[in-house]
């Protein structure tokens, strides 16, 4: 986003990841989201990619962040989809569940409810962006094989591409929930 001309600022809990970002020229505050102290109306956009699921109560995080948005600002959050087709296929062996690091995985409906309570207009949809990787890792868990042993063979890629395209015909089955919320 910075390369596109945005003024960018971040919050990072992990000091190593924070240092990497700072070394790349980004403004990053080390610490917890819960301790963020930005002025109200500071941001046109707030993005969280695979963050919400690491909190036992993501609604509190949204409550904390919403006042930092300018009027007409947007909050975008992407997280695993608890209603994904892979969850239905693999059950508790689904890689995206990622216990114990994922504490609460919000559904599209939960995102809309959280946003509505804060006066944010939310749209949600699902993505098949990670299907190949998540399918492979969920298969590894189900077969009790080592994680990270992903096949990128043509046959494997073709199979997961066809499955992802097929499952994309049914709304809500994607790997990730994308929440796009606007402050009115």
Stated length of the chain:
184
DSSP state of 55: S
Give the pLDDT of residue 141: 94
**Tokens 């990072």 belong to residue:** 12
- Rg of the chain taking only CA atoms, in angstroms: 18
At 1 the pLDDT is 87
The domain 32-183 belongs to what CATH superfamily? Answer: Vaccinia Virus protein VP39 (3.40.50.150)
pLDDT given for residue 150 in this prediction: 83
- The CA distance from 168 to 23, in Å, is 39
Cα–Cα distances in angstroms (integers) from residue 182 to residues 5, 45, 84, 145, in the given order? 21, 9, 25, 43
What is the rounded distance in angstroms from the CA atom of residue 163 to the CA atom of residue 143? 20
Mean pLDDT by runs of 10 across the 184 residues of the chain is 90 96 94 94 96 96 97 98 95 93 96 96 95 94 88 90 92 96 96
pTM here?
A: 0.90
Domain assignments of the chain as residue spans, ordered by start: 1-31, 32-183
Q: What is the DSSP letter of 171?
A: T
Burial, 101: exposed, middle or buried (Cβ in 10 Å; 0-12, 13-18, 19+)? exposed
């Amino acid at each position: 986003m910075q390369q596109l001309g945005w003024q960018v600022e971040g919050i990072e809990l992990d000091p190593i990841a924070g240092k990497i970002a700072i070394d790349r020229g980004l403004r990053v505050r080390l610490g917890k989201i819960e301790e963020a102290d930005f002025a109200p109306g500071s941001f046109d956009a707030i993005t969280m990619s695979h963050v919400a699921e690491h909190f036992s109560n993501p609604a509190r995080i949204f409550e904390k962040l919403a006042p930092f948005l300018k009027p007409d600002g947007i909050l975008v959050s992407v997280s695993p989809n608890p209603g994904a087709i892979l969850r239905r296929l693999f059950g508790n062996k689904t890689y995206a569940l990622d216990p114990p690091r994922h504490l609460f995985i919000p559904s599209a409906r939960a995102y809309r409810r959280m946003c509505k309570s804060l006066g944010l207009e939310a749209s949600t949809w699902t993505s098949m962006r990670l299907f190949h990787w998540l399918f492979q890792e969920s298969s590894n868990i189900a077969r009790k094989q080592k994680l990270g042993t992903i096949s990128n063979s043509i046959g494997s890629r073709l199979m997961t591409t066809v499955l992802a395209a097929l499952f994309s015909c049914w709304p809500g089955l994607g790997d990730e929930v994308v929440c796009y919320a606007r402050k009115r």
